[in-house]
Amino acid sequence: MKKAPLSLTLTGLLLGGTLAYADFADGLVGGLVGGAVGSVITNEVYNSNKASQPQYRPVHTKSHKKRHKAKRAAAPVMNDAMKIQKALKGLGFYHGALDGEVNSFETRTAIKEMNKAYGIGNTASLKPEERDTLIYLGTLFTFDRNLIARGNDKITRGKRIQTALKVLGFYHGKIDGSVGPMTRTAIASYQQAYGLGASPQLDFEAEYQLISSARAANDKNINDSITALKSLGHPSVPQNSRQTTPKPQDDTISKQPKVIQMQSIDALELSQPTQNR
């Protein structure tokens, strides 16, 4: 009895479904044929079996990376401690990061230097009036940065407009650069108050006037806050200056009681003989 050709035997095995897995097919075909025909059949069986497996799912790495890049970290919220550091930095006393660590060595050193410079004291602590003024001053320095920021992109321009409207008292929302309904309402109120119409849109000239007015007002607020800080100081008066008082005032004040005293003595001397008589 003649044996069937090897190719027919392999074909029958494939059609019969006995080659269920690629590793078994690789071993059988590679061992029997060991040539180009075996490698071709092996690749076909391997690919067909792998594609039919339900757990196989292609992974799209590029789109996954794009989605990951789209997520941006939110900007840190400026709390009171960071505003104090911002104010100290704007005044030239603090040179560290705005991390909100008011008890750090750098921040305490800056507070002490400010207290000494303004005659408030020689300590590294803040009085309640100092703390409130520095928090307000830190906000003003942030406003100043937004007002002088360069760039005409939507976010930068939106922050500039929102800050200007807030300084002038027309905007009470969050400064995020997104010009929404609240910002447009504030723009219309500003233009109506300044006789520029009631449009929620700003042209070039109106925007220039808005930013210029806000910068002038914000600069005044900064100067007033610095003056308030300095007024909290009580510098010691030198000993010599305490004793130097105008002499004419001393002579005038010293003579008045003497005149009154002499008059009273004369009156007593005149009245005594009368009573004796």
Domain range for 150:
80-231
pLDDT over threshold 60, residue 270: no
Contact present, 142 and 158 (Cβ < 8 Å): no
24 domain residue, yes or no: yes
As a whole number, the mean pLDDT across the chain is 74
18 and 146 together in one domain = no
Per the listing, tokens 């003497």 go with 258
User: pLDDT higher for 199 or 74?
Assistant: 199
pLDDT for the residue numbered 184: 96
pLDDT tens-digit series, residues 95-134? 999 999 999 999 999 999 999 999 999 999 999 999 999 9
Q: Looking at the structure, tell me whether residues 18 and 100 fall in a common domain.
A: no
Residue 77 pLDDT level (bands cut at 50, 70, 90): confident
Place 78 in a pLDDT band, splitting at 50, 70 and 90.
Answer: confident
Total domains, the chain:
2
243 falls in which pLDDT band (50, 70, 90)?
Answer: very low
- Is 246 domain-assigned? no
Residue range 11-69, pLDDT digits in tens: 454 444 444 444 444 443 444 344 444 444 445 544 555 555 555 555 555 555 555 55
Q: Indicate whether 93 belongs to any domain.
A: yes
Long-range contacts (CB closer than 8 Å, 24 or more residues apart) made by 183-192? 183/158, 186/162, 187/161, 190/165
30 & 85 share domain: no
DSSP result, 103-120:
TSHHHHHHHHHHHHHTTS
Q: For residue 57, tell me if it sits in a domain.
A: no
Placement of tokens 């008292």 in the chain: 169
| pLDDT score recorded for residue 274 | 43
Residue 260 lies in a domain: no
The secondary structure of the chain in percent helix, strand, coil, rounded to multiples of 5, reads 65, 0, 35
Contacts of 14 (CB under 8 A, 6+ apart): 41, 45
Q: Are residues 33 and 112 in the same domain?
A: no
- Do residues 37 and 100 share a domain? no
- Better-predicted residue by pLDDT, 181 or 240: 181
**Are residues 135 and 26 located together in one domain of the fold?**
no
Same-domain check for residues 18 and 114: no
Is the domain of 11 the same as that of 138?
A: no
Cα–Cα distance for residue pair 269/20, rounded to 1 Å: 145
Please check whether residues 14 and 97 belong to one and the same domain.
no
Q: Please say which residue of 211, 231, 251 terminates a domain.
A: 231
Residues 179 and 105 in one domain: yes
Residue 245 is predicted with a pLDDT of 44
pLDDT at 29: 40
Q: In sequence order, which residues have a C-beta less than 8 Å from that of residue 84 and are 6 or more positions away?
A: 102, 107, 126, 131, 134, 135, 138
Closest CA to 213 of 190, 186, 189: 190
**95 and 223 assigned to the same domain:** yes
* Residue 270 belongs to a domain: no
Are 48 and 84 found together in one domain? no
Q: What is the pLDDT of residues 129-173, one digit of tens each?
A: 999 999 999 999 999 999 999 998 999 999 999 999 999 999 999
> For residue 156, is it within any domain?
yes
Q: Classify residue 256: in a domain, yes or no.
A: no
Pick the residue with more confidence: 273 or 161? 161
What contacts 22, CB < 8 A, 6 or more positions away?
42, 45, 46, 49, 50
Give this prediction's pTM: 0.59
